[in-house]
Amino acid sequence: MGTARHRRDRPLDPAKIVEAAVMLSKQPDRHALSARRLGEQLGVDPTAVYRHFASMDELVKAALDAIWRDAARLIPRSLPWRAKLETIGHVFFQVIVEHPAVGIDAYRLSTNGPGEEAIVDMVLSCLEQAGLSDDHVVDFYAVLSSTVISHASAQAAERIETHEVVPPDERRWIEPPPNPVLVRFPSLVRHIDGLTSLDQPRVFELSLSVVLDAIESLTATAT
Protein backbone atom coordinates (compact mmCIF):
# COMPACT_ATOMS: atom_id res chain seq x y z
CA MET A 1 0.00 0.00 0.00
CA GLY A 2 2.98 2.27 0.43
CA THR A 3 4.13 2.55 -3.19
CA ALA A 4 0.72 3.37 -4.66
CA ARG A 5 0.00 6.11 -2.15
CA HIS A 6 0.58 9.26 -4.13
CA ARG A 7 -1.40 8.50 -7.28
CA ARG A 8 -3.69 5.62 -6.43
CA ASP A 9 -6.45 7.03 -8.60
CA ARG A 10 -5.45 8.89 -11.71
CA PRO A 11 -5.79 12.68 -11.23
CA LEU A 12 -8.61 12.75 -13.83
CA ASP A 13 -6.94 14.37 -16.84
CA PRO A 14 -9.32 16.99 -18.32
CA ALA A 15 -8.61 15.51 -21.77
CA LYS A 16 -10.07 12.21 -20.53
CA ILE A 17 -13.23 14.03 -19.46
CA VAL A 18 -13.55 15.63 -22.89
CA GLU A 19 -12.93 12.28 -24.59
CA ALA A 20 -15.68 10.66 -22.52
CA ALA A 21 -18.02 13.59 -23.24
CA VAL A 22 -17.46 13.19 -26.98
CA MET A 23 -18.21 9.47 -26.75
CA LEU A 24 -21.40 9.99 -24.71
CA SER A 25 -22.61 12.74 -27.06
CA LYS A 26 -22.88 10.24 -29.93
CA GLN A 27 -26.11 8.87 -28.43
CA PRO A 28 -29.18 10.57 -29.94
CA ASP A 29 -30.52 11.38 -26.47
CA ARG A 30 -31.09 14.84 -25.05
CA HIS A 31 -29.66 13.74 -21.70
CA ALA A 32 -26.83 11.55 -23.01
CA LEU A 33 -24.27 13.99 -21.59
CA SER A 34 -24.86 14.89 -17.94
CA ALA A 35 -22.55 15.26 -14.97
CA ARG A 36 -23.90 12.05 -13.47
CA ARG A 37 -23.56 9.90 -16.61
CA LEU A 38 -20.08 11.31 -17.14
CA GLY A 39 -19.10 10.36 -13.59
CA GLU A 40 -20.50 6.88 -14.10
CA GLN A 41 -18.60 6.51 -17.40
CA LEU A 42 -15.33 7.63 -15.82
CA GLY A 43 -15.83 5.87 -12.48
CA VAL A 44 -15.54 9.10 -10.50
CA ASP A 45 -17.86 11.29 -8.47
CA PRO A 46 -20.58 12.94 -10.59
CA THR A 47 -19.42 16.38 -9.48
CA ALA A 48 -15.78 15.78 -10.47
CA VAL A 49 -16.29 17.60 -13.77
CA TYR A 50 -16.78 20.88 -11.86
CA ARG A 51 -13.19 20.83 -10.66
CA HIS A 52 -12.07 21.17 -14.29
CA PHE A 53 -14.91 22.99 -16.04
CA ALA A 54 -16.88 25.95 -14.74
CA SER A 55 -20.20 24.56 -16.02
CA MET A 56 -21.65 21.89 -18.27
CA ASP A 57 -21.76 24.48 -21.09
CA GLU A 58 -17.98 24.86 -20.78
CA LEU A 59 -17.54 21.10 -21.06
CA VAL A 60 -19.83 21.04 -24.11
CA LYS A 61 -17.65 23.76 -25.66
CA ALA A 62 -14.53 21.70 -25.00
CA ALA A 63 -16.18 18.60 -26.53
CA LEU A 64 -17.22 20.57 -29.62
CA ASP A 65 -13.71 21.98 -29.95
CA ALA A 66 -12.27 18.45 -29.90
CA ILE A 67 -14.80 17.47 -32.57
CA TRP A 68 -13.76 20.53 -34.67
CA ARG A 69 -10.10 19.51 -34.31
CA ASP A 70 -10.72 15.98 -35.54
CA ALA A 71 -13.01 17.19 -38.34
CA ALA A 72 -10.44 19.73 -39.56
CA ARG A 73 -7.94 16.88 -39.99
CA LEU A 74 -10.34 15.17 -42.43
CA ILE A 75 -10.27 18.07 -44.91
CA PRO A 76 -7.97 17.49 -47.92
CA ARG A 77 -5.21 20.08 -48.00
CA SER A 78 -5.18 21.28 -51.59
CA LEU A 79 -8.51 21.72 -53.29
CA PRO A 80 -9.96 24.64 -55.27
CA TRP A 81 -11.58 27.07 -52.84
CA ARG A 82 -15.20 26.20 -53.65
CA ALA A 83 -14.72 22.44 -53.51
CA LYS A 84 -12.83 22.85 -50.26
CA LEU A 85 -15.56 24.99 -48.66
CA GLU A 86 -18.18 22.47 -49.82
CA THR A 87 -16.15 19.67 -48.25
CA ILE A 88 -15.72 21.61 -45.01
CA GLY A 89 -19.47 22.28 -44.92
CA HIS A 90 -20.39 18.65 -45.47
CA VAL A 91 -17.83 17.30 -43.00
CA PHE A 92 -18.92 19.69 -40.24
CA PHE A 93 -22.60 19.03 -40.92
CA GLN A 94 -21.89 15.32 -40.56
CA VAL A 95 -19.83 15.43 -37.35
CA ILE A 96 -22.41 17.69 -35.69
CA VAL A 97 -25.20 15.25 -36.60
CA GLU A 98 -23.03 12.32 -35.45
CA HIS A 99 -22.64 13.92 -31.99
CA PRO A 100 -26.21 15.11 -31.51
CA ALA A 101 -26.13 15.60 -27.73
CA VAL A 102 -23.55 18.39 -28.11
CA GLY A 103 -24.24 19.21 -31.79
CA ILE A 104 -27.72 20.43 -30.83
CA ASP A 105 -26.03 23.31 -28.97
CA ALA A 106 -23.37 24.16 -31.57
CA TYR A 107 -25.59 26.94 -33.01
CA ARG A 108 -25.30 28.96 -29.79
CA LEU A 109 -21.79 28.17 -28.49
CA SER A 110 -18.41 29.40 -29.73
CA THR A 111 -15.73 27.05 -28.45
CA ASN A 112 -12.88 29.60 -28.39
CA GLY A 113 -10.41 26.72 -28.62
CA PRO A 114 -7.65 25.45 -30.89
CA GLY A 115 -10.04 23.33 -32.98
CA GLU A 116 -12.09 26.41 -33.78
CA GLU A 117 -8.94 28.35 -34.60
CA ALA A 118 -7.83 25.65 -37.06
CA ILE A 119 -11.11 25.53 -38.94
CA VAL A 120 -11.64 29.30 -38.97
CA ASP A 121 -8.16 29.75 -40.44
CA MET A 122 -8.92 27.13 -43.08
CA VAL A 123 -12.18 28.79 -44.13
CA LEU A 124 -10.60 32.25 -44.15
CA SER A 125 -7.76 31.08 -46.39
CA CYS A 126 -10.28 29.59 -48.84
CA LEU A 127 -12.06 32.93 -49.01
CA GLU A 128 -8.75 34.72 -49.53
CA GLN A 129 -7.92 32.24 -52.29
CA ALA A 130 -11.28 33.06 -53.89
CA GLY A 131 -10.03 36.63 -54.16
CA LEU A 132 -12.42 38.37 -51.77
CA SER A 133 -11.55 41.70 -50.15
CA ASP A 134 -10.59 41.65 -46.46
CA ASP A 135 -14.06 42.91 -45.47
CA HIS A 136 -15.79 40.29 -47.59
CA VAL A 137 -13.57 37.54 -46.21
CA VAL A 138 -14.76 38.27 -42.69
CA ASP A 139 -18.39 38.79 -43.69
CA PHE A 140 -18.65 35.59 -45.70
CA TYR A 141 -16.82 33.57 -43.07
CA ALA A 142 -19.59 34.58 -40.67
CA VAL A 143 -22.43 33.86 -43.10
CA LEU A 144 -20.96 30.54 -44.17
CA SER A 145 -20.16 29.21 -40.71
CA SER A 146 -23.52 30.18 -39.26
CA THR A 147 -25.27 28.53 -42.21
CA VAL A 148 -23.46 25.22 -41.77
CA ILE A 149 -23.71 25.11 -38.00
CA SER A 150 -27.34 26.19 -37.68
CA HIS A 151 -28.64 23.64 -40.17
CA ALA A 152 -26.49 20.92 -38.59
CA SER A 153 -27.76 21.76 -35.09
CA ALA A 154 -31.34 21.61 -36.35
CA GLN A 155 -30.64 18.20 -37.90
CA ALA A 156 -29.02 17.02 -34.65
CA ALA A 157 -32.18 18.09 -32.79
CA GLU A 158 -34.31 16.18 -35.27
CA ARG A 159 -32.19 13.05 -34.78
CA ILE A 160 -32.64 13.36 -31.03
CA GLU A 161 -36.38 13.86 -31.29
CA THR A 162 -37.01 10.89 -33.55
CA HIS A 163 -34.50 8.87 -31.45
CA GLU A 164 -33.64 6.82 -34.50
CA VAL A 165 -32.73 7.27 -38.13
CA VAL A 166 -36.06 7.33 -39.90
CA PRO A 167 -36.29 6.93 -43.70
CA PRO A 168 -35.68 10.21 -45.58
CA ASP A 169 -39.23 10.39 -46.95
CA GLU A 170 -40.63 10.44 -43.41
CA ARG A 171 -38.36 13.24 -42.18
CA ARG A 172 -40.58 16.12 -43.18
CA TRP A 173 -39.43 19.69 -42.67
CA ILE A 174 -43.00 20.92 -42.64
CA GLU A 175 -45.98 18.77 -41.78
CA PRO A 176 -48.97 18.91 -44.09
CA PRO A 177 -51.56 21.21 -42.46
CA PRO A 178 -54.27 19.14 -40.77
CA ASN A 179 -57.19 21.47 -41.38
CA PRO A 180 -58.63 22.04 -44.86
CA VAL A 181 -59.71 25.63 -44.17
CA LEU A 182 -56.82 27.05 -46.17
CA VAL A 183 -58.78 29.13 -48.66
CA ARG A 184 -57.33 32.23 -46.99
CA PHE A 185 -53.82 31.03 -47.88
CA PRO A 186 -53.75 30.45 -51.64
CA SER A 187 -49.94 30.47 -51.91
CA LEU A 188 -49.64 27.89 -49.17
CA VAL A 189 -52.19 25.67 -50.94
CA ARG A 190 -50.36 26.06 -54.24
CA HIS A 191 -46.98 25.03 -52.82
CA ILE A 192 -48.02 22.60 -50.11
CA ASP A 193 -46.68 19.52 -51.91
CA GLY A 194 -43.30 21.17 -52.47
CA LEU A 195 -43.11 22.31 -48.86
CA THR A 196 -43.94 18.91 -47.37
CA SER A 197 -41.26 17.23 -49.48
CA LEU A 198 -38.49 19.47 -48.07
CA ASP A 199 -36.10 17.94 -45.58
CA GLN A 200 -33.31 19.40 -43.46
CA PRO A 201 -30.30 18.03 -45.43
CA ARG A 202 -31.77 19.35 -48.69
CA VAL A 203 -32.43 22.80 -47.20
CA PHE A 204 -28.82 22.78 -45.97
CA GLU A 205 -27.55 21.98 -49.49
CA LEU A 206 -29.65 24.78 -50.96
CA SER A 207 -28.47 27.29 -48.34
CA LEU A 208 -24.82 26.33 -48.81
CA SER A 209 -25.17 26.77 -52.58
CA VAL A 210 -26.71 30.20 -52.15
CA VAL A 211 -23.77 31.36 -50.01
CA LEU A 212 -21.11 29.82 -52.26
CA ASP A 213 -22.79 31.27 -55.36
CA ALA A 214 -22.74 34.69 -53.71
CA ILE A 215 -19.00 34.34 -53.06
CA GLU A 216 -18.39 33.17 -56.62
CA SER A 217 -20.32 36.07 -58.10
CA LEU A 218 -18.11 38.50 -56.13
CA THR A 219 -14.95 36.88 -57.44
CA ALA A 220 -16.30 37.00 -61.02
CA THR A 221 -16.86 40.74 -60.62
CA ALA A 222 -13.32 41.26 -59.30
CA THR A 223 -11.57 39.44 -62.14
Partner DNA sequence: ACCTGAACACCGTTCAAGT
Using CB under 8 A, list all residues that contact a copy of itself: 104, 107-108, 110, 112, 117-118, 120-121, 124-125, 128, 134-135, 137-139, 141-143, 146-147, 150-151, 153-154, 157-158, 161, 173-175, 177-178, 182, 184-188, 190-191, 194-195, 198, 202-203, 206-207, 210-211, 213-214, 217
Spatial separation of the C-alpha atoms in residues 219 and 214, rounded to whole Å? 9
Binders of DNA among 17-46, rule CB under 7 A?
31, 33-37, 44-46
Nearest to 123 by CA among 68, 65, 204, 205: 68
Residue 109 near DNA by CB under 7 A: no
Which listed range, 6-14, 79-87, 179-187, 211-219, lies at the site for DNA (CB under 7 A)?
A: 6-14
Q: Which of DNA, a copy of itself, none does residue 44 bind to, with CB < 5 to 8 Å depending on kind?
A: DNA
- 3-state SS assignment for residue 50: helix
Residue 143 near DNA by CB under 7 A: no
Number of residues that make up the chain: 223
Residue 10 near DNA by CB under 7 A: no
Q: Which of DNA, a copy of itself, none does residue 50 bind to, with CB < 5 to 8 Å depending on kind?
A: DNA
DSSP H stretches of helix in the chain: 14-24, 35-42, 56-73, 81-98, 100-103, 114-129, 134-162, 186-196, 200-222
Spatial separation of the C-alpha atoms in residues 126 and 85, rounded to whole Å? 7
Residues 6+ apart with CB under 8 A from 29: 101, 160, 163
Site of interaction with DNA (CB under 7 A) = 9, 11-12, 31, 33-37, 44-48, 50-51, 55-57
